[in-house]
Amino acid sequence: MKVRWSEAAIQDRREIVNFIALNNLLAAIHMDELFDRAAERLAEHPYLGRISELAGTRELIPHESYRLVYEISGETVWILSLNHTTRQWPPEID
């Protein structure tokens, strides 16, 4: 399967890596590599993540602190969001 990152997920990833890099560049690089490996695993095993509370999505925990939310559409895995596990998921809608 193909794996595609949504613009929102790309932005989430960029913010996470940049934040970590403020204190530890090597840790930021390592975290970014973990995100890459998680996406690669989804290409081979798209149902690896558990069913999410948000209808039609699944989630994978590439690191104990981060949740990767994705959906499967045809032959493509769309990564929709990457967020800290302490944040409420799914987010509240006003």
CATH of region 2-84: 3.30.2310.20
At residue 80, the 3 state secondary structure works out as strand
Q: What's the pLDDT band for 93 if we cut at 50, 70, 90? A: low
Residue 36 C-alpha from the chain's centroid: 9
Average pLDDT over residues 63-67: 94
Q: Residue 70 and residue 92: Cα distance in Å, rounded?
A: 18
Q: Where are the domains of the chain?
A: 2-84
- AA identity, residue 39: A
Question: Higher pLDDT residue, 21 or 87?
Answer: 21
Alpha carbon distance 68, 81 (integer Å):
6
Per-residue confidence band for 94, with pLDDT thresholds at 50, 70 and 90: low
**pTM (two decimals):** 0.90
Instruction: Kindly report, residue by residue over 5-64, the tens digit of the pLDDT.
Output: 999 999 999 999 999 999 999 999 999 999 999 999 999 999 999 999 889 999 999 999
